[in-house]
Amino acid sequence: MVSNSPFSPRRARADLVAALPAVGMFAGALLGVILGLTRGVGGPVALGGLGIAAGLVVGLLLRVALRPDPGDRP
Residue, of 18 and 5, whose pLDDT is higher: 18
Specify the number of domains making up the chain. Answer: 1
Q: Would you say residue 45 lies in a domain? A: yes
pTM for the whole thing?
A: 0.75
Q: Would you say residue 6 lies in a domain? A: no
- What are the start-end ranges of the H helices in 1-74? 9-18, 20-38, 44-65
Q: What are phi and psi of 64, to 5 degrees?
A: -70, -40
Q: Would you say residue 28 lies in a domain? A: yes
What is the pLDDT at residue 56? 94
**Nearest C-alpha neighbor of 47 from the set 56, 38, 36:** 36
Give tens-digit pLDDT for 25-65.
999 999 999 998 998 777 889 999 999 999 999 999 999 99
pLDDT category at 3 given cuts 50, 70, 90 is low
What is the pLDDT at residue 43? 86
Q: Would you say residue 31 lies in a domain? A: yes
Residue 58 sits in which domain range? 20-67
pLDDT category at 2 given cuts 50, 70, 90 is low
